[in-house]
Amino acid sequence: MEVREKVVIVTGGALGIGRALCQRFAREGARAIIVADVNEAGAKAVAEEVKGRAVICDVRKEDDIIRLIRFTEETFGVVDILCSNAGIIVLGGVEVANNDWQRIWEINVLAHVYAARAVIPGMIKRGGGVFMITASAAGLLSQIGSAPYSVTKHAAVGMAENLSITYGEQGIKVFALCPQAVETEMTKQGGGVAAVDGMMKPEQLAEAVIEGFKREQFLILPHPEVKTYMQRKTADYDRWLQGMRRLQTRFFQGVPLKKSSGR
């Protein structure tokens, strides 16, 4: 699947992964790039950089996403690729306040539901399209130190799986982007346990997305180690859980992290 001459929407496009995706899509020769973000100044800056269009969009609001899709279809005729990329992290466990659970659920999960609901019918009518969800390795493994992030990213992966199963025979190519730690505002204070295999630059991740599109494989894993960790998890779930507990102990006791067979 090529990006050249495609009309692309990137939510959360003002910073980090979203910005890098917009820049990379521009280099690939996308016909139009719509930079969608609640950060108006950031969205406009990236749109100017990639010669795209900025749309102010709060992904927690379904009406905003509907307006985003409608604007793109009316302006350019199609939406070829939608990168449902916006996401946040909330640290803590089950004790996290209800309003924080609600907020991360709306951004990390419901936003993908709203986007799919708004864009996929039109894609099917036009013969196909691409829908990518930026999930995380936390959605395949777990996130030590953040139950809300782990839970919502698992849900995001599940959403992508269901979309692929439901619409794959109708021309919709679905991708789940699942990196470990990436150098963004979210990881400014460090990537935590997710950085055990190193911090990736957003530009490297964007390159992995282009390669993933070309291979047309559901899972895009910029950190290849994640596949090995998944295989160990499914091979012996209890052993994997024990390994994660050990990793958690080392992390919270401040012991330097190394690659762990339990991860």
Structural domain includes residue 75: yes
Which stretches in the chain have pLDDT values below 70? 186-197, 254-263
> Do both 181 and 241 map to the same domain?
no
> Do both 135 and 258 map to the same domain?
no
Residue at token pair 């900025």? 54
Structural domain includes residue 81: yes
Structural domain includes residue 2: no
Catalytic one among 114, 149, 167, 229? 149
> Do both 187 and 234 map to the same domain?
no
> Do both 90 and 73 map to the same domain?
yes
- Distances from the Cα of 32 to the Cα of 8, 88, 212, 246, angstroms: 6, 26, 20, 47
> Do both 113 and 46 map to the same domain?
yes
Q: What is the pLDDT of residue 190?
A: 52
> Do both 75 and 127 map to the same domain?
yes
Structural domain includes residue 216: yes
> Do both 173 and 234 map to the same domain?
no
CATH code at position 94: 3.40.50.720
Structural domain includes residue 1: no
> Do both 136 and 176 map to the same domain?
yes
> Do both 136 and 247 map to the same domain?
no
Q: What is the pLDDT of residue 257?
A: 39
> Do both 232 and 217 map to the same domain?
no
Q: State how many domains the chain has.
A: 2
> Do both 188 and 263 map to the same domain?
no
Angstrom distance (rounded) from CA 194 to CA 238: 20
Question: Model confidence over 58-115: pLDDT tens digits?
Answer: 999 999 999 999 999 999 999 999 999 999 999 999 999 999 999 999 999 999 999 9
Q: Which two tokens stand for residue 70?
A: 């409608």
Coil, strand, or helix at residue 220?
Answer: strand
Residue at token pair 């995380």? 136
User: Is residue 149 among the annotated active site residues?
Assistant: yes
Parent domain of 107: 7-223
